[in-house]
Amino acid sequence: MSRDKVLIIGSGLMGSGIASRSALAGHKTILLDANLEAAERGLQKALACINELEAHNLADPEAAANARTLISTSDNLETACGEAEYVIEAIYENLGAKQALFAQLDTLLPPGVIILSNTSGLRITDIAADMEHHPERALTAHFWFPGHLVPLVEIVIGDRSNPSLAEDAKRLLLNWGKAPVIVKRDLPGQLANRILQAVIREATSIVEMDLCEPEDVDLAIKMGMGIRFPVWGALEHVDAVGVDLCRNVQATVLPDISAATTPAKCFDEKIAAGELGAKSGKGFYDWSIKSMDALADRRNRFIIEALQFHQRNPE
């Protein structure tokens, strides 16, 4: 039996999106879940991702047609591991479950097979803690949602990871059309979530001090820095306006912005009131008059247009 497939474990929203990108890159891809019914549902989601990319000229029609034939489903981990050249874990975010899976994979796979975790918040060092044979081949590969659209993948090197394997994973993901970044230390939040949480910390602080309303905070982000970020990074901005100017701005602003090291009080207040966000109908917004489906659709359309821009205007 040839070892020539990408094995994706977990067929939910993330696993199915990852499977679509693997297949579009020409890889035979196994989408594995605890039962075949779940895996088949994941397959349908993956096909929908391929269709969406093709419909917006983000996937070549010939590659898309081929990709639809490359994804298979399975509920047999041992058999699937016998065919896997690469493994990406995308199960639910539970440390114990991931640790048990990685320990099992460590016994089922030969040493040369890299094992990647799509964890968004857990440390790969902790996930790989029970791997007794080859923990050096465990790395994080955090795909950002929606996985078939957002280019970013954060490759995190754990305490026992082999850094050269991070370069191998980066080359693989570049061939998938992704934008992988290597994170050299296994810290909470990886890379992009650390930046995002700093933004959220200040956004909630602004609401708590009643500087402005939540919708104005989000509007300022969307129509200010956010609209530039797809082509104008934070450190590019520093160089554009001058390191000396940014240093002076920081000297004025940083003493007055939030330096909180605990979650915002307004989170606890909203949780106590049952205001959990869109899933409960209310959070910072009233979701009985605001549609999350419409907002998600708008997000995807914006990402698609940004990707089309980058496709037409590569750096």
For the beta carbon of residue 210, count every other beta carbon within 10 angstroms: 7
Task: Check whether residue 43 and residue 158 sit in a common domain.
Answer: yes
Q: Measuring CA to CA, which residue among 181, 176, 198 is closest to residue 189? A: 198
pLDDT at 1 over 70: no
Tell me, yes or no, whether 131 and 23 share the same domain: yes
Domain enclosing residue 92, as ranges? 5-183
Q: Is the domain of 120 the same as that of 85?
A: yes
From the list 128, 153, 171, 165, the residue with the least C-alpha distance to 14 is: 153
Q: Verify that 145 and 45 share a domain, yes or no.
A: yes
The model's confidence at residue 2, banded by pLDDT at 50, 70 and 90, is: confident
Give the number of domains in the chain: 3
Torsion sign across C-alpha atoms 197, 125, 23, 45: negative
The pTM score is 0.92
| Cα separation, 285 vs 296, whole angstroms | 15
pLDDT tens for each residue of 103-149: 999 999 999 999 999 999 899 999 999 999 999 999 999 999 999 99
Identify whether residues 138 and 75 lie together within a single domain. yes
